[in-house]
Chains A and B, each alone.
Chain A
Amino acid sequence: MSTLSRDMSIGGQPPQSLNIQQKLATLLGIMGLVILLLATFNVQFPNKTLWLTLSLSAITAGTIWFGAASYLSKHPGIKNDGVFFKSVSHRGFWGWVLGIGLTIFYILLYFFPEYLGLTREGDNKGIIALFDPLSRFLSGNPASQWFVYGTLYTVAIFAFGFKFIWKYRHNRYEILRTISVMFFQTSFAFLIPEIMARLNGTLPYYDLKNIWPLNYYNFERYRINAFIDAGDIGIAMLIFGVLSIFVITPVLTYFYGKRWYCSWVCGCGGLAETAGDPFRHLSDKSVFAWKVERWVVHSVVVFVTLMTTAVIYSYLGHDTSKYWLTKNTFLLGVAGLLTLVFVWVMVFKRAQLQKDAQYGAIGYFVIIMGLIGFHFISGEGNVFLFKAEALRKTYAFLIGAVFSGVIGVGFYPILGNRVWCRFGCPMAAILGFQQRLFSRFRITTNGGQCISCGNCSTYCEMGIDVRAYAQKGQNIVRSSCVGCGICSAVCPRGVLKLENGPLQGRIDSQDILLGNDVDLMKVIQSPK
């Protein structure tokens, strides 16, 4: 009977060619990229400011024009026609080309910046040199590979943000959220740190919206020293850094769910939601993937907690008379805090956690054992058996570079746009834990209206099988949900609504379907 294979769409050869405007827009964008590529190969541009401006303008204008040409002539509404037929968005030839291209870029960026033109002594070369004028204009310093990256990153969020807004122009939630990430990226991540560097040279580069453990390096010795050296403003920033972990984050997550960060503020989320949007359906929805997700992401949390503790531990002293915070007070503090959280969760929230409780217990156990290990097995400069520095380097390499960069963004066209956020980000895991346990946020399911079509699950970038809940009439309260709102947008029956409300009744675990007249459904005593 059927000739279709299970994971291919039936046949499928619909029109997918670009219209003329889209082609011209693509050409313009590519011209901008070519300038960057030429610069990478050390073509000397006579007037760097001019060529950089040309390049960035062409990329931005090309992308925005492409967005306009794609959507503005159509009715406002869901624009997923042909998503699974297009080569670039369905792991076809162009998808792989893009994926490999991005991956190479990330490998160069993280591990071989010299190929991008970074030089130890003397002037920059290559593409980094092309960005010198902009960097000097903003901070007064020459560019680095990170400046190049930051600029391109910001351009991407900004330009693809327009495209996204036009794609969802019927949906005010999506529009506002996108304006928000565009704003936070351009100001907090890009401009403010550069300008601060100009105003106060001793301050370490600090993107204020980047919170530990996302910026896992925030409490390293050199940064702490720099904060302290920078005087009041540095101390203020340090305090802000600590407050944002322990106060600001939980409070906001309580009121709004983790979306306040993941879909409204965060830069990784910002890129995923804008430039990464065409790939959101590539996330894996299988139960197996969910299992892998929980193991991997929680391991990263354990890793980053131990690593950060080790790093701070390694530079603290023993002597209370010199500084109140000593190695041992610190360890006890961390252990005490974790125990407090753990006991609170186990006592009050156990019922809600089910399986997650096991993960939590295992994670907690590993960390405590680690801390005990620190205390007993550490020698001078050593924590445990390693140098704290080695632990930090491993983390920076494995998680900071390979996971968040190479896999996280490089693999957008292969694994979807939120691979990092889902499998790797320790910040997302901690926020998710808070979201699951004490947050007013949930996705409400609209009674019995679900027709099990699967649009919500397909377009959930976090690989949540939204349909599995919706078709049973259950609300969706999942730690991984970043509140992007797309499931609600693509639902053709108006079944899903992201909202904040009282904790009571947040998770409806009885699967009564509205529609069956439960009260009146009398049990007939004698079967005929």
Chain B
Amino acid sequence: MSEIRELYQELILDHNRNPQNFKPLPGANHHSEGFNPLCGDHYHIYIKTDENNIIEKITFDGKGCAISKASASLMTSFLKGKTVEEAIRAFESFHDVVTGKIDPETGMAELGKLAVFAGVRDFPVRVKCASLAWHTMKAALTETETVISTE
């Protein structure tokens, strides 16, 4: 049971129950749609940046498991007010931590609350759940693709 609690931290469960920024965003100037075909997770990320490339507003909607929903919720809260460059850097750090490439202690220092997702590294099949919102956010900002899939 303790490994399970390691993955499903209270903060994750809270954000699953009461997701933040969980709504569409009229006036968004970036948007992308992300799928995880393995489990049917499906989200939209909406972003409004200002003329200085600062993320003014960021929201999401869609459906998915607790990990993916909490991740989207915490990510949107975290990125609000950051620059596009900072968001892309955060994506890299987050990705490296959940895939176990770098130690959570070092990598998560700059990620603050997002450290709760460090437990995902012990559940390789769930890494895609934790990173889906991030991939979708990155696609929205870089506009390489508008529909992304984790497969």
Chain B associates with chain A: no
